[in-house]
Amino acid sequence: MDLQFATLHGNDVAYRIAGEGPAIVLIHGMAGCSRTWRDVMPLLARDYTVIAPDLLGHGRSAKPHGDYSLGAYASGLRDLIAGALGVERATLVGQSLGGGVAMQLAYQYPELCERLVLVGSGGLGREVSWILRLLTLPAAEYAMPLLFPRFLRDRGNRVSAFLHDRGIHAPHVAEMWRAYASLAEPENRRAFHRTLRAVVDPGGQTVSAVDRLYLAAAVPTLIAWGDRDDIIPVEHAHRAHEQMPGSRLEIFTGAGHFLHAEQPAKFAAVLGDFIEHTAPARRDLAAYRELLRGRAPAQASAPAEAGRPAC
């Protein structure tokens, strides 16, 4: 599962790939990278082809001056998955920001999505951590070099290595630290800030998929959340489940925002069970048009006004 690279539109995109079988794409959160899935990938690779990219602006992928919107991320992933890697269909798994990217990818390119898995996902409500909201305030980017100094990152990395060597593991803290440490580099901070401001403002999350959740009625959907999530509240999971008829809800007791790292064996088992017991979506354009025109099947949420387009 070493990093590999593909060059797309002049930018290097890092990714990890392992296993054989039906494809699963694992999409990390903001300020994260594909390494966040390191404990889950070997478990899933026994039965599936598992692909974990570093989104542009994250990890070892390029950090260009460009578009860091959800739509741009979705297009870039489509080009990597279907273009560079030749994978025509996959189960899309997104954590935090990655959940928003996965939903956007399924919306823009429905033919690519067999199943949708949302893990502590963004884009399902306004509420989000106050720290992220503060970092969107005017001129916050100019204070970030003081908040994320390299010397503190280096000291923290030494402490982390010391604890790891002595068998002391705190996955949630480790994931938070890796995200913090990545922001010690100027190019990472620039990409982070552009990504953050594309989806969050001082009042909370600005991008919402709630008005389009009915479009996922034909796509098997798993919503997984930690009941101790301190970044995006677990109430978003319950609300999304109510608005997505037929979706499966799994609440991980004792887990926080990084439940895939905190409880990797359980996460892999739940994901594997979900895939094995659901048929992959085969979205046809005629049915999709019917949904958009407001003539949705009874189990889907119809628009408020008859005949009014939903999007």
DSSP string, the chain: ---EEEEETTEEEEEEEE--SSEEEEE--TT--GGGGTTTHHHHTTTSEEEEE--TTSTTS---SS--SHHHHHHHHHIIIIIIS----EEEEEETHHHHHHHHHHHH-GGGEEEEEEES-SSS-S---HHHHHTTSTTHHHHHHHHS-HHHHHHHHHHHHHHHHTT---HHHHHHHHHHHHTTSHHHHHHHHHHHHHHEETTEE----GGGGGGGGGS-EEEEEETT-SSS-THHHHHHHHHSTT-EEEEETT--TTHHHHSHHHHHHHHHHHHHTSPPP---HHHHHHHHTT---TTSPPPSSTT----
Catalytic residue among 54, 61, 172, 229: 229
Catalytic residue among 28, 58, 193, 257: 257
Catalytic residue among 96, 121, 182, 247: 96
Q: Is 211 a catalytic site residue?
A: no
Q: Is 229 a catalytic site residue?
A: yes
Active site residues: 96, 229, 257
